[in-house]
A and B are shown apart, each in its own frame.
Chain A
Amino acid sequence: MTFSMDAFAAAIDLAAVLLLALGIKGLSKVSSARGANALAALAMGLAVVGLLIQIRPDPIAWLWIAAGSAAGGLAGLVTARRVPMTAMPETVALFNGCGGMASLLVAMGVALFDAGESDIVALVSIAVSVFVGAITFSGSIVAMAKLQGWLDTPGWTQSHLRHGVNISLAVLCLVSAVLLPGDPSGLPLWLLMGGSTLLGIGVTLPIGGADMPVVISLLNSYSGVAAAAAGFVVGSQLLIVAGAMVGAAGLILTQVMCTAMNRSLVSVLFGGALGASAGAVGGGGSEAGYTRITSCSAEECAMALEQAERVVFVPGYGLAVAQAQHSLRELSKLLESHGVEVSYAIHPVAGRMPGHMNVLLAEADVPYEQMLEMDLVNPEFPRTDVVIVLGANDVVNPQAKNDPTSPLYGMPVLEVDQARQVFVVKRSLGAGYAGINNALFEMPQTAMVFGDAKAVLNGLLSELRSMGVGKVKVTA
């Protein structure tokens, strides 16, 4: 009887692992992603049912399980429904922090109350779980607060002193972890928890907003490690394998993002905020830096669009802030009905995290085939008639290719300067994230259209309509 029960549970575990792996695999293809996500959710449900069959909770346990599930599940449901797509980075950070908190709580619970625990493997797992769980939690919450705009990057965090502070915290954690086996539920445990929490804050706080996506991705990988460590604590191989998969996959994703931003992981983690240092070194960023700016009205821009055969839009986060994706989609539909070939050039870090702009455009009904990634769209610019840059700045700066003295030098950019005509829609001549001037703005084929992205797009729409674009042509 016990054997068959165990065998049954083992079979369910195996099925869950298989479905999880298929789910992660499927998530990396657009056509299969939605089904894969559902598959992973199913796998998770299966794993929970399998475990419940195995442990057969008593009535009191059921009560507490029901309470915890109701609270967490309901909160998750509400958050997932309500959160706007623009707030996706901080939402992922928040979810991630809660995952870390869960691992931390499990390890603390076992350490504090499972007094008979003397197995060295269990104690090491507890130490790892507390350490990684606490860092994931505090780091994710700081990341969320910064992305929400609740926290700035304080100037004092940019001093080299922070490395000293963080190293001392790391040493404190290491010492308490070593002391832990001697006194599993005493002072070392609390020191380890406090030290790791502070370390998570100390490492995340100095990192600027532009690098936050990399941090979230890395913390996401940590939460996988935290889950695997919790697996060692409670002796669940399913947890170990799932946590390891997420941890490794998260590392790869982090690497992909770093490559896209031309930043090394080391410089993101220890280099401080890009904006803060570049501002000091470059010294640019003031409007006085520009001398040959051409500006034009929406009407002139509309006339260029009306005559174009091929138009590429370059959306940046400014577009999403202005909530202008829908106006943009309307404009491109109008141009398409006029026979213009329209596409969208998406820089790997457009939006607030890699892939975020694609989600925002998808929300506005843009088909994903029209969203072209950098490597595909760059060769197309020379045969593009009109490029419209909306709320993007550093990612179209040609200095990243041409000017070895620029702080942006080496960053892969969209080569919009190759197009015949470029319009840049911008509120003002303020500097981008990196705080440096953009040589594109002063090029002869570039004209600036000053204004809020949504207002300008709506202006273009009405100009084009008044020119008769989009009306059914009556042919004789």
Chain B
Amino acid sequence: MSVLTQSLWVLLLGSLLGLELIGKVPPTLHTPLMSGANAISGITVLASLTLIQQAGDNTALLVIGALSLGFALYNVIGGFLVTDRMLAMFRRKGDSR
């Protein structure tokens, strides 16, 4: 199987998995779920890291790579932390802080 076919399979199965995972969501969690899913989409960090590694001594490419790493990590770190901040506030009746 060529790399392309394999990648397309991965794309297809990943999409189906995503559709399946979010079947029912209580309305309470819509905002945190959106922000959590958003943090996960910052997985582009992997592409940024690869780009920096492949840049060699090309300074322009290193700058672009570092910039994109910065943007992606801002998405990831900010996203996960703010989601955690929201979810930490949800509590049951009678729970003490």
Contacts and interface: CB of A to CB of B under 8 A. Distances in A.
Interface string A327-347: 000000000000000000010
Contacts of A24: 18, 21-22, 36-37, 40
Contacts, number: 394
A234 interface: yes
A429 interface: no
B76 to A, nearest CB: 6
A197 interface: no
A41 B14 contact: no
Given A52-B49, A106-B68, A243 B21 contact: no
A83 interface: yes
A237 to B, nearest CB: 5
Interface stretch (A43-51, A306-314, A433-441): A43-51
A69 B73 contact: yes
A35 to B, nearest CB: 9
A119 B50 CA distance: 18
Most-contacted residue by chain A among B60, B68, B88, B95 (CB, 10 A): B68
B11 to A, nearest CB: 5
Interface stretch (A222-230, A380-388, A403-411, A458-466): A222-230
A369 B85 contact: no
Interface in A349-365: 351, 353-356, 358-359, 362-363, 365
Contact of B40 (A23, A58, A367): A23
B46 to A, nearest CB: 5
A354 to B, nearest CB: 4
B80 A75 contact: no
A103 B57 contact: no
Contact of B68 (A51, A55, A105, A241): A105
B71 A346 contact: no
A77 B81 CA distance: 7
Tell me if B's interface is mostly helix, strand, loop or mixed.
helix
A236 interface: yes
Give the interface size bracket for B toward A: 35 or more
A88 B73 contact: no
A172 interface: no
A99 B11 CA distance: 19
A110 to B, nearest CB: 7
A287 interface: no
A105 B74 CA distance: 14
B68 A243 contact: no
A39 B57 CA distance: 36
Nearest to A110: B51
Contacts of A36: 36
B2 to A, nearest CB: 9
Given A245-B15, A253-B33, A348 B27 contact: yes
Interface of A: 20-21, 23-25, 27-30, 33-34, 36-38, 40-41, 44, 47-48, 51-52, 55, 57-58, 60-61, 64-65, 67-69, 71-73, 75-77, 79-81, 83, 85, 88, 91-92, 95-96, 98-99, 101-106, 108-110, 112-114, 121, 216-217, 220, 223-224, 226-228, 230-253, 256-257, 260, 346, 348, 351, 353-356, 358-359, 362-363, 365, 367-371, 373
Interface of B: 3-4, 6-7, 10-19, 21-55, 57-58, 60-95
7 contacts: A40-B80, A98-B74, A101-B68, A244-B11, A245-B15, A358-B28, A358-B29
Q: Please give me the 7 A-B residue pairs with the lowest Cβ-Cβ distance, nearest first.
A: A248-B18, A244-B14, A355-B30, A72-B73, A76-B78, A68-B69, A76-B77
